Amino acid sequence: MLTMTNELILRMIQLFLIFLIFWTMGNILVNAKKHGINLKEKFWTGLWIGYVTDLLDTLGIGTFATSTALFKATKLVKDDKKIPATLSTAHIIPVLIEALCFITIVEVDLITLFAMAIASFLGAFVGTRITKNWNTRQVQRVLGILLIVAAFIMVYRLIANPGASISESAHGLHGIWIIVGVMFNFTVGILMTMGLGNYAPELIFFSMLGINPSVALPVMMLDAAVIMSASTTDFIKSGRVNWPGVLGIIIGGSFGVLTAAFFLSKLDINHFKILIVFIALFTGTSLLRSSAIKR
Asked whether the beta carbons of 52 and 256 are under 8 A apart, the reply is: yes
Per-residue pLDDT tens over the stretch 116-139: 888 988 887 787 677 667 777 777
Q: Pick the closest to residue 63 from 51, 73, 75 (CA basis).
A: 51
Q: pLDDT over 90 for what percent of the chain?
A: 25
Asked whether the beta carbons of 193 and 131 are under 8 A apart, the reply is: yes
**Does residue 247 carry a pLDDT above 90?**
yes
Per-residue pLDDT tens over the stretch 16-72: 999 999 999 999 999 999 989 999 999 999 999 999 999 988 887 777 778 888 888
Per-residue pLDDT tens over the stretch 73-87: 898 988 877 888 898
pLDDT value for 10: 84
**Does residue 192 carry a pLDDT above 60?**
yes
Going from the C-alpha of 177 to that of each of 23, 58, 185, 214, the distances in angstroms are 36, 26, 12, 17
- Spatial CB neighbours of 64, under 8 Å, sequence gap ≥ 6: 87, 195, 197
pLDDT value for 161: 59
**Does residue 250 carry a pLDDT above 80?**
yes
pLDDT value for 32: 92
What average pLDDT is seen over the chain?
Answer: 83
- CB neighbour class for 168 (10 Å; exposed up to 12, middle 13-18, buried from 19): exposed
